[in-house]
Amino acid sequence: MIDRDAPRAGERVLQDMPGTEAGLVFIGHIETPFASRDDCPRQGRADGPVCTLVLDPRFAPALDGIDRFEQLELLYWLHEARRDLLSQSPRSDGRTRGTFSLRSPVRPNPIGTSIVTLVARDAHRVTVRGLDCLNGTPLLDIKPLRCAYSPLAPAKPGV
């Protein structure tokens, strides 16, 4: 059987990975039709399948007001990704690029982001289109794409 996570030709592995320094809260998980990593698109598409954000019911009140937005920005934890590659060869051709020049799921903090279209909200479930992650992927955060409560940039630097 092929080990999907084995380093490819030319890839560089970090040998002394630092310990973790932040505690994250999974606010729920994401239901998608993608049962394996090979089934997932490389990036979500606006016309992609409907997926469901299933929040822990304790976070349901935090969804109040979300219906006003057409688009949301999601952050999720790509839980099956290895975290110790410094360079990667996404096409398995031995030509590597640095991890931070890629949107690969393999990174020290395997956080994925997507801009999705809100379809509907029902109690602690939100349906959206535009995702690219495995069924069951843990959900970290939901933000409106544009929000009236974002701080305004200062008119001049330093003001």
Where on the chain is the footprint of ligand SAM (CB under 6 A)? 37, 40-43, 78-81, 103-105, 112-114, 132-134, 137
Please state the closest distance from residue 49 (CB atom) to ligand SAM, in A: 14
Q: What is the DSSP letter of 157?
A: T
Spatial distance between the Cα atoms of 76 and 90, rounded to a whole number of angstroms = 21
Closer residue to ligand SAM, CB minimum distance, 8 or 37: 37
Closer residue to ligand SAM, CB minimum distance, 46 or 67: 46
Closer residue to ligand SAM, CB minimum distance, 109 or 113: 113
Spatial distance between the Cα atoms of 113 and 137, rounded to a whole number of angstroms = 12
Closer residue to ligand SAM, CB minimum distance, 26 or 69: 26
- Beta-sheet strands, E only, within 58-148: 71-77, 85-88, 97-98, 111-122, 125-129, 137-144
Contacts of 39 (CB under 8 A, 6+ apart): 33
